[in-house]
Structure 1
Amino acid sequence: MSTQRSLFRRSRSASASLPRRIVGGLAEYVDRRIGWDKLAVLPGLAVLFGLRMKLRQENLHDTTHLPSVNLPDPGPKSEKHKVNRSADGSFNDLDEPRMGMAGTRFNRNIPLDKIPSATPEDVLSRPNPREVSRALLTRHELIPAESVNSLISTWLQFMIRDWFSHGTSPEDRPWEVPLMDDDPWPERPMRITRTPDDPTRDPRAGADMPDTRVNVSSHWWDASQVYGSSEAEQRQLRTGELGRLRLWDDEQTPFPDPSRDPSRVPGFWLGLVIMQNLFAREHNAICDHLHAAYPSWDDEELFQRARLVNSALIAKIHTVEWTPAVISHPTTVKALQTNWWGVAGERVHNLLGRISGSELVSGIPGAKTDHYGAPFALTEEFVAIYRMHPLIRDDWHLRSAVDDETLRHCTLRDISGPEALKVLETTSMADLLYSFGTLHPGLVTLHNFPKFLQEFQRPDGHLQDLAATDILRSRELGVPRYNEFRRLLRMKPAASFEDLTDNPVWADEIKRLYGNDIEKVDLTIGMYAERLPAGFTFSNTAFRIFILMASVRLSSDRFFTEYYTPEVYSKAGMAWIDDNTMATVILRHHPELRPALAGLTNAFVPWHTAQSGTGGS
């Protein structure tokens, strides 16, 4: 065992000290008996901090120590790694350069010996994924999330493009899903491609080794969806002048391979283009700002500092704006603000900076780097709870930001793939932002999966039901079913279908589909059906993973902790992060949207319409 691995073992032992175990145990007891969301803000906050402590102790499980071969090569260490993010995520941890880099394994939030088997009998067991899709996920009409706007869904896909991807599925050996006689699916059986195998798995390890998969993206929160995940991609994205990136307006695609039609990239749609464009522009604005402050800096220095600043601004927006918008309970809003600024708060930070080395007092950015006993990587459970396709609307009413006049009515099909390029040719980016900002997304709940995504045609022409695929993926990747998932996170399992959901119609539908066996209910179905805490757009069960991973991916990243300093980012760069929000980013590049955002403290809530002064539809 390496010295670093020994340090992780000692760290985990230290984190499980008696006082911490008592605090974590007490928080778990109160949460089970009362519920953190039923308490006033301060005691609720104390319970969430105790739960986070408990989760850090018991729900970070390392897969990198398992037998492996053909590991990705981080290359030689150099001085530039100290102050620059690498393209592939290597050398974030200077002692363990592979940690979190592209091509390394996902970790788990459950013990490795608790990973369910993924035999064909398990993955395709009744009700099979297609039956679940048809019976419980099909949208008949949009169930809106009225407290937020549709930039919520565009932002989420933009983040997922940064965080994780299992890679391109092989075409051989697809899962073959049996279909009911009345199923209108055009091919029989339904075929769903498999998740790629782990290329680093040692073939000598044997069947006893838990199933593992790799993340082809960097695990770090490093804006790889803007900057690419390799040196080659970065070279194609950069102009080579003053640190800047190529833009759509340059007639150069901001996607990694400019010679390829970007509309053929899986998952391409108008929402993704909006965010890609906005933050490529923001990078260039940061470059211009830094060039004015430090005129002697060359292209490379400007690019690297601007990347750090842009990545941190994106992380800040997600932490203190996006997430509090989708889980807007007063306690969670305060908890997320505390993650970034500590209990001292934003005002103290702006006046005095960090007043303590403690992350609790002054927030995680600038605190000590801590992996909490396990080398950092995102987890398969983190991937599973982010399957939130119901956020996406089927129908899109595109309107003018000037007078709210209708430009065109679109379906999701009309703004996806190659069709999205036609919309881009005729609709300004300001009008697209305005339209998304004044339309509600869907609520993450049963019977609210986008119809288009249940009959989605992939770029290769293959027809796919993404609702069935979401169910199958969790089974295939060994994510536990709903009740077991809750047990492993020390949450109370549902005792009955009526206990699972407060909607009696849903309880009856789930009971019939799963043959009266509550233990068979899939994680996605349980999360979509359960009662939501006040202000939540998604489930409390998913939030349990958020409590853990939202802080760990900040505290593990030295560019958000010990290297989050003016010496690394520059004084002007640090000020840019402090001074900006999602609204200021939008208005910098599209000032004509100022009336729509006037008076709003969060750009992810419904905007004012040009016609009525109120937003959402």
Structure 2
Amino acid sequence: MTKSTSTTPGATSNGYRPGLPWRIQRAVATALDRSRGWDRLSLPLAIAVLAGLRDSLRRHNLVDTSTLPTTGSPALPPFDPRVLTERTVDGSYNDLRAPAAGTVGARFGRNVPLSAVSRPTPAEVLEPSPREVSRQLMTRTELIPATSVNALVAPWLQWMIRDWFSHGKSPSDDPWQVELADDDPWPERPMSIMRTPEDPTRPDTSPPRTSVNTCTHWWDASQVYGTTAEQQKEIRTFEGGRLRVEANGMLPTPRSNHATLEEPGFWLGLVPLQTLFTREHNAVCDMLAGEFPHWGDEEVFQRARLVVAALIAKIHTVEWTPAVISHPATVVGMRANWWGLAGERLSRVFGRLSDSEVVSGIPGSPTQDYGVPYSLTEEFTAVYRMHPLVPDLFDLRSHEDDRRYREEPYTLRELAGPESLPILERVPVADFLYSLGTEHPGLVTLHNFPRFLQEFVRPDGRVMDLAAVDVLRHRELGVPRYCEFRRLLRLRAPATFEELTGDPDLARQVSRLYGGDIEKVDLMVGLYAERLPEGFAFSDTAFRIFIVMASRRLNSDRFLTRDFTPAVYTAPGMRWLADNSMASVILRHHPELRPSLRSAPNAFTPWQRSGAGS
């Protein structure tokens, strides 16, 4: 068995130094988590342990890559006083002390020490075969459902990722060449997988491997508003702050490369969300124009963008995440990220009771980067590879009577790519939302990867196995393999395959593929194989990255902390944020869905099916 090469976890410490009570809680939390598991503790104790684990992760697992040699930082526009109250299109000047932090073109950070980040050899990238990992361990024969949530969670996550991160367009030259088994029916031999673009800001290709984000790192709804002035200009009407929407309520076909449907991975599930929040922006504009009739187009647009971006962050924090990880402690914890342990009711009546994020939540608390300039991380992008959430089949039905649009379900292949758009001429957006809301997604586990995504045809005609690509990307970008990844998060690594999976048959499959060496198990395989905590649709190991990064995206964003005020958002804007949820956004624009949503406690949990077919 290969021995671990991990550094001492404490070696990853940054400049964050909490007080003595927090240090004691952190030590006790780590000990309880290792001995019992946070998810097996009583609710109050589990919440306290999660708070301690988050503090430990903030100290040890936020690693700055901007200190590595560079050929220069992303070019910044000149300072304009408007950046004090407006989000910039490229993400600059959010952090006024480090105005390039989080911008388009800034590097991904890390959640593991740089000494553990390799620039792997070709053999380390290609062995064992990513294609065989896909075929033997990922292939879905029948959907394993996540029954506590509805299928809307899958397009929501993809839509969020389009706001958060992208490694950019892969170069077409010198692809990885994956040798295939004799019985593999793949149409080309060997399989070609394009490489991740190199970091253009590094003067050489020495370790550790780094990459840049072609999106802004901030939670700023850039999938709606674009990341360049040209993209933003295209979507605006320049009247009353509003965005372009056709008379039928749909979005115009985009003309620029910002077009959602021109990007690989487009499918119809993204259309309702893009349309919904474009129309929500316009609703906020109408509200602001009514409150402030003397304001011009630009003022209304910028304030509405702030409100919509914060509303999306709120929905993801207190609705999407608690739905997909619905353990009682995580539900309380995620809601506390927004409102604190004081809770939503006290927040609405009294406002903030304290500067403490624990008492009154992160929005409105002091901005904090925990000693490391803000960025999303490579490990964050790795654990968000959750393609098993996506079903292969979609039973599109009418919200009025549950009537099917056709006898056989639509396949994911039929709903993908620009050629799928005519389906929306037959299936209204409200019915598409209803269909997603009343069906289940997949569980993020082995043998549950969508078959269509193992034979995914890009708009340029290239065929990809996304399961093989996901595995290869982790290796290529120097993300540690599963056992080492756990050690670097101060978790115990499994000693055997049976301990990893808890399933003897599955353990034999994984062991056979990895030649009996548990240390070689890929991160994605380990994440998909491990036991899930109660109510979780994905793994506890992935959750550790969420513990630190979910709150960090709020903590470090000036517009979600110190500038989360009526002076910046306006008092009516703050009320809009307090009063709205995913359900209210859906019902504002599709009130016909009220009967289906009326009994759902959360818009991402299963909706009620309509009369005749229920």
Q: Decide: shared fold, TM above 0.5.
A: yes
- Tell me which residue corresponds to 1:437: 437
Q: Report deviation, 1:13.
A: 3.7
Which residue number corresponds to residue 583 of structure 1? 583
* 1:399 paired residue among 391, 397, 422: 397
1:357-392 CA distances to partner (integer Å, 9 max, x unpaired)? 111100000000000010000000000000000000
Q: Match for 1:75: what amino acid?
A: P
Residue in structure 1 matched with residue 559 of structure 2 by the alignment: 559
1:523-538 mapped onto 2 (5 Å cutoff): 523-538=523-538
Distance 1:613 1:407, change over 3 A: closer
Is 1:545 the equivalent of 2:577?
Answer: no
Q: CA deviation at 1:116?
A: 3.0
Q: Distance in 2 between matches of 1:20 and 1:403?
A: 55
Distance 2:250 2:238 in 1: 14
- Aligned twin of 2:89: 87
Match of 2:5 in 1: none
Look up the match of 1:302.
300
Aligned twin of 1:323: 321
C-alpha distance in 2 between matches for 1:264 and 1:559: 31
Q: How many angstroms does 1:297 deviate by? A: 1.0
Deviation at 1:419, TM superposition (A): 3.0
Task: Return the letter of the residue paired with 2:96.
Answer: L
Q: Is the 8 A contact 1:234 1:256 kept in 2?
A: no
Instruction: Indicate if the aligned counterparts of 1:178 and 1:188 stay in contact, CA closer than 8 A.
Output: yes
Name the counterpart of 1:3.
none
2:184 equivalent to 1:183: yes
**What is the CA distance between 1:556 and its match in structure 2?**
0.2
Residue identity in the other structure for 1:465: D
Task: Tell me the equivalent position of 1:245.
Answer: 243
Task: Identify if the C-alpha distance between structure 1 residues 94 and 390 changes in structure 2 by more than 3 Å, giving closer, same or farther.
Answer: same
For residues 123 and 83 of structure 1, the distance between their equivalents in structure 2, rounded to whole angstroms, comes to 45
Tell me how far apart the structure 2 counterparts of residues 610 and 264 of structure 1 sit (CA, whole Å). Answer: 35
**Aligned partners of 1:94, 1:254: CA distance in 2, in Å?**
36
> Which secondary structure state, in structure 2, belongs to the residue aligned with residue 87 of structure 1?
coil
Aligned mates of 1:313, 1:63 — CA distance in 2 = 30
Query: 1:368-383 alignment to 2 at 5 Å?
Result: 368-383=366-381
Aligned to 1:494: 494
Per-residue Cα deviation, 1:37-89 (whole angstroms, up to 9, x for no partner):
00111100000000000000000000011111142211110110000000010
Q: How many residue pairs get matched?
A: 600
Residues in 2 aligned to 1:167 and 1:102: alpha-carbon distance in whole angstroms: 11
Q: CA offset at residue 248 of structure 1?
A: 5.2
> What is the CA-CA distance between 1:612 and the residue it aligns to?
6.7
Tell me which residue corresponds to 2:291.
293
The alpha carbon displacement at 1:239 in A equals 0.8
- In structure 2, the CA distance between the partners of 1:248 and 1:161, relative to structure 1 (3 Å rule), is farther
Residue type of the alignment partner of 2:31: Y
Q: Distance in 1 between matches of 2:323 and 2:25?
A: 29
Unmatched tracts of structure 2, length 5 or more: 1-12
- Letter in structure 2 aligned against 1:510: V
Structure 2 Cα separation of the partners of residues 40 and 450 of structure 1: 36
Q: Report what 1:140 is aligned to.
A: 141
Structure 1 residue 232 displacement after superposition = 1.3
Amino acid in the other structure paired with 2:36? I
More displaced 10-residue stretch of structure 1: 334-343 or 500-509: 500-509
Aligned residue number for residue 418 of structure 1: 418
Of 258-267 and 535-544, deviating more is: 258-267
Aligned equivalent of 2:202: 201
Tell me the distance in 2 between the aligned counterparts of 1:335 and 1:507. 33
Specify the alignment match of 1:458 in structure 2.
Answer: 458
Q: Where does residue 170 of structure 1 map in the other structure?
A: 171
2:114 matched residue in structure 1? 112
Correspondence for 1:25 = 27
Instruction: Report the Cα distance in structure 1 between the residues aligned to 2:600 and 2:385, rounded to whole angstroms.
Output: 28
Distance 1:579 1:255, change over 3 A: farther
Matched, 1:99 2:97: no
For residue 47 of structure 1, the aligned residue among 46, 49, 64 is 49
Q: CA separation in 2, counterparts of 1:265 and 1:464?
A: 14
The 2-side partners of 1:593 and 1:552 are apart by: 35
Identity of aligned residues (%): 59
Shift of 1:119: 1.5
CA displacement 1:396-435 (0-9 Å, x = unmatched): 1100000100013310001000232021122111111000
The worse-fitting range, judged by mean Cα deviation, of 300-309 and 11-20 is 11-20
2:272 — aligned with what?
274
CA distance in 2, matches of 1:210, 1:117: 6
Q: CA deviation at 1:255?
A: 7.2
State how far apart, in whole Å, the 2-side matches of 1:378 and 1:603 are.
27
How far, CA to CA, are the matches of 2:405 and 2:25 in structure 1?
Answer: 56
**After the TM superposition, which of the residue ranges 49-58 and 603-612 deviates more from structure 2?**
603-612
Deviations 1:95-148 (A, max 9, x none): 2110000111000000001113321111001x2100100000000011111111
1:510 is matched with which residue?
510
Look up the equivalent residue of 1:423 and give its one-letter code: I
Letter in 1 for 2:393: D
1:38 and 2:40 matched:
yes
Letter in 2 for 1:172: D
2:59 aligns with: 57
Alpha-carbon distance in structure 2 between the residues aligned to 1:30 and 1:297:
55
Aligned partner letter, 1:147: S
Amino acid at match of 2:59: Q
State the secondary structure of the residue aligned to 2:395: strand
Distance, in Å, in 1 between the alignment partners of 2:136 and 2:555 is 41
Do the aligned residues in 1 keep the contact of 2:103 with 2:215 (CA within 8 Å)?
A: yes
Q: Secondary structure at the match of 1:226?
A: helix
Shift of 1:502: 1.7
8 Å CA contact 2:151–2:436 kept in 1: the answer is: yes
Contact 1:233 1:257 in 2 (8 A): no
The farther-off stretch of 545-554 and 12-21 is 12-21
The answer to whether the Cα contact below 8 Å between 1:511 and 1:517 also exists between their aligned partners in 2 is: yes
1-side partners of 2:437 and 2:444: how far apart?
A: 18
> 2-side partners of 1:259 and 1:35: how far apart?
46
RMSD in angstroms over aligned alpha carbons?
1.6
Which residue matches 1:7?
Answer: none
Distance 1:249 1:123 in 2: 50
Task: Tell me whether 1:214 sits opposite 2:215 in the alignment.
Answer: no
